[in-house]
Amino acid sequence: MAARSTEPPAAVRLDKWLWAARWFKTRSVATDAIEGGKVHVNGVRVKRSKLIHLGDKLRITKPPYEFAIEVTGLSEHRRSASLAQALYQEGQESIAKREELREQIRHQPVIAYDGKGRPTKKDRRRIDRLKGS
Residue 127 placed within a domain: no
129 belongs to a structural domain = no
* CATH code for the domain in which residue 62 is found: 3.10.290.10
Going residue by residue through the chain, which has 133 residues, state the pLDDT in tens, using 9 for 90 and above: 555 656 778 899 999 999 999 999 999 999 999 999 999 999 999 999 999 999 999 999 999 999 999 999 999 999 999 999 999 999 999 999 999 999 999 998 876 667 678 888 988 898 888 888 6
Question: Is residue 5 situated within a structural domain?
Answer: no
Q: What gap in Å lies between CA 1 and CA 95, rounded to an integer?
A: 45
Give how many domains the chain has, as a whole number: 1
- According to the model, what pLDDT value does residue 31 have? 96
Residues of the domain holding 69: 12-111
Q: Is residue 76 within 8 Å of 20, Cβ to Cβ?
A: yes
pLDDT for the residue numbered 80: 95
Q: Does residue 130 lie in a domain region?
A: no
In a domain, 4, yes or no: no
Q: What pLDDT, on the 0 to 100 scale, is given for residue 113?
A: 64
pTM for the whole structure: 0.76
User: Is 1 a domain residue?
Assistant: no
Name the burial class of residue 57, with classes exposed (0-12), middle (13-18) and buried (19+) by CB atoms within 10 angstroms of its CB: middle
